[in-house]
Homo-oligomer: A and B are copies of this chain.
Amino acid sequence: MLSERRLQVLRAIVQDYVGTEEPVGSKALTERHSLGVSPATVRNDMAALEDEGYIAQPHTSAGRIPTDKGYRLFVDKLAGVKPMTAPERRAIQNFLDGAVDLDDVVARTVRLLAQLTRQVAVVQYPSLTRSTVRHVELLSLAPARVMLVLITDTGRVEQRMIDCPAPFGETSLADLRARLNSRVAGRRFTDVPQLVEDLPEGFDLEDRGTVSTVLSTLLETLVEENEERLMIGGTANLTRFAHDFPLTIRPVLEALEEQVVLLKLLGETQDPGMTVRIGHENAYEGLNSTSIVSVGYGSGGEAVAKLGVVGPTRMDYPGTMGAVRAVARYVGQILAES
C-alpha cells in the first residue's frame, strides 16, 4: 500500500504532466506543489512509484511520466469529477435546446462535446434494442410496391422498400397497418417477433405472401438497425496532441472510421455510470495510446445509448469526465421532452 504522500506525489505528477506534456522531475514537483518535503524525498517516492509501475521514465535521467496504471489509480482514487460551472451548464442547455430533430440533437451533442473537451467526441444514436415501437406505417407506392416506415419512441425513423409477391389492395394495406400497429405499438423491439408471428393467418390466402414479406422485412429492419450508428466530431482536435506523431494519429483515425470497433468498445461495459478506459485497457490496438471516457444516456432513467470522448491518455480526466457527464444529462432531458 502506498503512503498518503506518495499518492499525492502521483497526483502531482499526473496533473503537471497533463498540463505541460513534458516529463516531470523531482525539483519541479516540489516547486509547483507544496508537498512539504525536499526533492530528494520526492525522488525516493518516485523510485517507489516506479517500482510499483505507476510511473516510468521515457529515457534514463529524464523526468517521469504516468503509466496507464498510474492514470488508472489517479482516476479511481485521486481525482474527482470536476463539475461544470453554471455558465457552462447554461451554454450546454442553450445549445442543445435549439435542436429540431433526432439527427440534429446528435449532431449538436457531438459538436458540443468536442468543443467542451477539445477532443474527439463520439455519440451513439439511441439504440433500438431497448426502445419501443411508436408506429409502423405502410405506404402503397405501386400496386405491388410498399414502403415500410418504422418510427421509434426516440424519434428515429427507418424505412424500407418492399416488392410484394402479388398486388396488394389499398384496403388490405389499411387492414394490415391497423392490425400491425395494434399489436406492436408501444412494445419493445425484442418482443415484436412473437407478437406478429400469427398475423398472416387473419388474411386471405392471396394476401398472405405479401403480409409475410412485409413482416419479415420489419423484423429484418429491427435486427439490422441493432447495428447502431455513431456520429463523430472534433477530429481536428487530434492534431493538438500530434506534434510527436502523425504515427499515432493515423490508427486513431482508422479506428474512428471503423465504427464497428468503436461500437464494440462503447458497448463492452455494462456499467450504467461513467466508464474510463485507459490506454491498453482498450482492446483495439490502434487506440492503445488513447483513453475513452464514456457514459450511457437516455430519456428515462434508462440508458439507451452511449456517448463519450476519445483523447490522449494524458488528458484532463476530471474536466473531461465532468463535461461528458453534464452533456449526457442534458441530452437525456432533451430526449425526454420530445
Number of copies: 2
A135-B141, A253-B239 known; A159 vs B159 contact (CB < 8 Å):
no
Q: Tell me, yes or no, whether A151 is within 8 Å of chain B by CB.
A: yes
Q: Tell me, yes or no, whether A257 is within 8 Å of chain B by CB.
A: yes
Q: Tell me, yes or no, whether A236 is within 8 Å of chain B by CB.
A: yes
Is the CB–CB distance between A238 and B257 below 8 Å? no
Is the CB–CB distance between B135 and A139 below 8 Å? yes
Is the CB–CB distance between B257 and A233 below 8 Å? yes
Q: Tell me, yes or no, whether A166 is within 8 Å of chain B by CB.
A: no
Q: A160 to chain B: which residues have CB within 8 Å?
A: 100-101
Is the CB–CB distance between B100 and A224 below 8 Å? yes
Give A226-246 interface residues, CB cut-off 8 Å to B.
233-236, 238-239, 242-243, 246
Q: Tell me, yes or no, whether A161 is within 8 Å of chain B by CB.
A: yes
Q: A238 to chain B: which residues have CB within 8 Å?
A: 253
Is the CB–CB distance between A242 and B236 below 8 Å? no
Q: A158 to chain B: which residues have CB within 8 Å?
A: 101
- The SS class assigned to the A binding surface is mixed
Report the separation of the CA atoms of residues A331 and B239 in the bound assembly, to the nearest whole angstrom: 34
Give A198-253 interface residues, CB cut-off 8 Å to B.
224, 233-236, 238-239, 242-243, 246, 249-250, 253
Q: Tell me, yes or no, whether A254 is within 8 Å of chain B by CB.
A: yes
Q: B-contacting residues of A (Cβ < 8 Å)?
A: 100-101, 134-135, 137, 139, 141, 147, 149, 151, 155, 157-161, 224, 233-236, 238-239, 242-243, 246, 249-250, 253-254, 256-257, 338
Known: A135-B139, A139-B151. 4 other contacts (CB 8 A): A101-B159, A135-B147, A235-B256, A242-B246
